[in-house]
Amino acid sequence: MSDFTPPADSGIHPAELSELSAMVRSGSSLIVIETHDEPQALKLFVELRRQLHRPLFQWTATRGLSWIEREQVLSSEFEDPGKALAHIVQRRDQGIYLLKDFHPYLKDPVIIRRLREMTRIDQGLHARTVVLISPQLTLPPELEKVARRFVLKTPGREALRAMIREEAVRRAGLRAPMPDALCEQTVERLVNNLDGLTLKDARRLARNAIQDDGVLDEHGLVEVMRGKFELLNPDGVLGFELETARFSQVAGMPNLKRWLELRASVFNAAEPPPGLDPPKGMLLLGVQGCGKSLAARAAAGLFGVPLLHLDFGALFNRYHGESERNLRESLAAAELMAPCVLWIDEIEKGLSSSDSDGGTSRRMLGTLLTWMAERKSRVFLAATANDITSLPPELVRKGRFDEIFFVDLPDEATRAEVMGIHLSRRGQKAELFPVEALAQATEGFSGAELEHLVVSALYVAHAEGQRLTVDHLLGEIDATRPLSVVMAEPIDQLRQWASTRSVPA
Ligand SMILES: Nc1ncnc2c1ncn2[C@@H]1O[C@H](COP(=O)(O)OP(=O)(O)O)[C@@H](O)[C@H]1O
Ligand SMILES: [Mg+2]
């Protein structure tokens, strides 16, 4: 239902404009736009004003209320947000009022009340529209019901390509249509990386990535990913690792490694080969300290994609009341970062099946399950769990994850490998140590305990002013009571549970 078509060079989507127009004309008196691209939002309203012939104002904390396109301030006292709202209520001009960065004031009960009253009175002839434009905006419950959210469309791939070309030419100072340095393939990768951002943000990142001679290299692309991540994750719910763990640092788990290796090329293909779905995710469960977290991170290294860490425990505790929204936003951000590995460590901590939290963890589980079932993008979910007794049964049902792996205590050969890895990592010549004999002496030790052993022995050797010897290591072995001895019973139960529901890593 578009009566007017926006000019072709405006960067405005006709569908977007008509959607906004319909929202305003239907009498929505409070509209919320969450965006980092304020100028783009403004452009839309300027265009809309031409269609609807309604006066357009903006408010900022620095200038107060002013006419848009007239550079004329109404009165300087309207810098005060409360006074500005009081004034808007009095005006009978069917105005559209864009309140920029108004979100800090939404904590003030008087402001909330004014906004609420404003949406109720004189809906007839003098209906006005108040639009809140902020990078991020949480509405108080009083306003949540009356407000409508409008989502700016992100530029399509064609617009991104054009922008990259523009930037490359500008950067290289050339008049040529496209610097040679920027090959088709690199542009496509950059377009992939910028997809999902606003044009303004995409341009800023592209500008930083392209060098003076118009060259865009691997480093530039990596920086784009990092920049994009920072934009998509303003609350810091997700963590981001680029150079993450490698499987060469993980002892044992031959099945898991092979399983991942078989899937890497399919995961990385833009179009999966016929008949094959891209891998969606795995759950690693098992004994604490045996390398689940390490292996989950190494999956990102093996696929050669960034690792996003979603801290479920923190999501649950830190953002109380907003855990679900933050989960939804984090999942959406992960999709925009695709291809990537999304790592949820100790997933049971945020999803325990208890009902003691007013249903939050239930709803979070629902949100996660829905996302897992519906997601289309290449986000590989790598989840780990230590405690199966608090894992909700829905999560481990067949078909949720592509595979559930059980990570057991390391066997003798794996223990030798773990010792070798950690001796080398700490500057020791592993081949000088009888790792097989040490492995024999450490029955029941977890990988973490073996690592700890090496570290403690190194401290002792250092204190004695000596080089590390096998005797230092044997001394530490004698002094350690591995967790598996203390926890023999729960570990046995874990193994039994796992034997029918998972495959050995
Ligand atoms: N199989 C393994 N190979 C190499 N190192 C290991 C292994 N298992 C555990 N470790 C060491 O112990 C540390 C803790 O292991 P982690 O991955 O956190 O165990 P989990 O998540 O199963 O509790 C790892 O960072 C690593 O240094
Ligand atoms: Mg762990």
Give the ligand whose atoms come closest to the C-alpha of residue 313: 2
pLDDT score of 90 = 85
Task: Examine residue 1 and state whether it is found in any structural domain, yes or no.
Answer: no
Distance set, CA 159 to CA 155, 197, 275 (Å): 6, 12, 32
3-state secondary structure 278-325: CCCEEEEEECCCCCHHHHHHHHHHHHCCCEEEECHHHHHHHCCCCHHH
Chain position carrying tokens 């009083």: 142
Give the ligand whose atoms come closest to the C-alpha of residue 289: 1
Task: Examine residue 491 and state whether it is found in any structural domain, yes or no.
Answer: no
Statement to judge: residues 99 and 218 lie in one domain: no
Statement to judge: residues 140 and 97 lie in one domain: yes
Q: Which atom of ligand 1 is nearest to the CA of 421?
A: 4
Chain position carrying tokens 């052993």: 453
Distance set, CA 42 to CA 56, 68, 78, 221, 229 (Å): 10, 9, 20, 30, 25
Q: Which domain covers residue 474, as residue numbers?
A: 412-486
Statement to judge: residues 284 and 255 lie in one domain: yes
Task: Examine residue 241 and state whether it is found in any structural domain, yes or no.
Answer: no
Task: Examine residue 504 and state whether it is found in any structural domain, yes or no.
Answer: no
Q: Which of 246, 253, 285, 290 to mutate to test the pocket of ligand 1 (most atoms within 8 A of CB)?
A: 290
Statement to judge: residues 421 and 299 lie in one domain: no
pLDDT score of 223 = 84
Nearest residue (CA) to ligand 1, atom 13? 448
How many whole angstroms from 290 Cα to the centroid of ligand 1?
A: 5
Statement to judge: residues 399 and 420 lie in one domain: no
Task: Examine residue 482 and state whether it is found in any structural domain, yes or no.
Answer: yes
Statement to judge: residues 161 and 138 lie in one domain: no
How many whole angstroms from 290 Cα to the centroid of ligand 2?
A: 8
Question: pLDDT for 78-116, tens place per residue?
Answer: 889 999 999 998 888 889 999 999 999 999 999 999 998
- Whether residue 350 contacts residue 316, with contact meaning beta carbons closer than 8 Å, is answered with yes
List phi, psi (to 5°) of 451.
Answer: -60, -45
Task: Mark the ranges of the chain whose per-residue pLDDT is less than 70.
Answer: 1-11, 121-126, 172-182, 212-214, 234, 317-320, 352-357
Statement to judge: residues 257 and 392 lie in one domain: yes
Nearest residue (CA) to ligand 1, atom 12? 448
- Sort 414 into a burial class: Cβ within 10 Å, 0-12 / 13-18 / 19+: buried
pLDDT score of 234 = 66
3-state secondary structure 364-431: HHHHHHHHHHHCCCCEEEEEEECCHHHCCHHHHCCCCCCEEEEECCCCHHHHHHHHHHHHHHCCCCHH
What is the H or E stretch that residue 59 is in? strand 56-60
How many whole angstroms from 34 Cα to the centroid of ligand 2?
A: 36
Nearest residue (CA) to ligand 1, atom 16? 291
Residues with CB under 6 A from ligand 1: 250-252, 288-294, 384, 407, 410, 418, 421, 447-448, 451
Measure the CA–CA gap between 288 and 466, rounded to whole angstroms: 33
Task: Examine residue 366 and state whether it is found in any structural domain, yes or no.
Answer: yes
Tokens of 77: 């006292």
Measure the CA–CA gap between 297 and 295, rounded to whole angstroms: 5
How many whole angstroms from 54 Cα to the centroid of ligand 2?
A: 58
Reported as half-sphere exposure (CB side, CA atoms, 13 A), residue 270 has a value of 4
Statement to judge: residues 192 and 97 lie in one domain: no
Statement to judge: residues 122 and 168 lie in one domain: no
Statement to judge: residues 252 and 389 lie in one domain: yes
CATH number at residue 76: 3.40.50.300
In 3D space, the residue among 406, 402, 404 whose CA is nearest the CA of residue 281 turns out to be 402
Nearest residue (CA) to ligand 1, atom 10? 447
Statement to judge: residues 255 and 218 lie in one domain: no
pLDDT score of 174 = 55
pLDDT score of 2 = 42
Task: Examine residue 285 and state whether it is found in any structural domain, yes or no.
Answer: yes
How many whole angstroms from 236 Cα to the centroid of ligand 1?
A: 25
- Whether residue 203 contacts residue 231, with contact meaning beta carbons closer than 8 Å, is answered with no
Total structural domains within the chain: 4
Q: Of 376, 407, 438, which marks where a domain is finished?
A: 407
pLDDT score of 117 = 85
Measure the CA–CA gap between 259 and 134, rounded to whole angstroms: 45
Q: Of 127, 149, 171, which marks where a domain is finished?
A: 149
Task: Examine residue 505 and state whether it is found in any structural domain, yes or no.
Answer: no
CATH number at residue 436: 1.10.8.60
Distance set, CA 240 to CA 102, 225, 491 (Å): 30, 10, 32
Question: pLDDT for 334-393, tens place per residue?
Answer: 988 888 999 999 998 877 655 566 777 888 888 899 999 988 888 999 999 998 888 888
pLDDT score of 380 = 96
Statement to judge: residues 442 and 390 lie in one domain: no
pLDDT score of 121 = 59
Q: Of 149, 165, 196, which marks where a domain is finished?
A: 149
How many whole angstroms from 422 Cα to the centroid of ligand 1?
A: 11
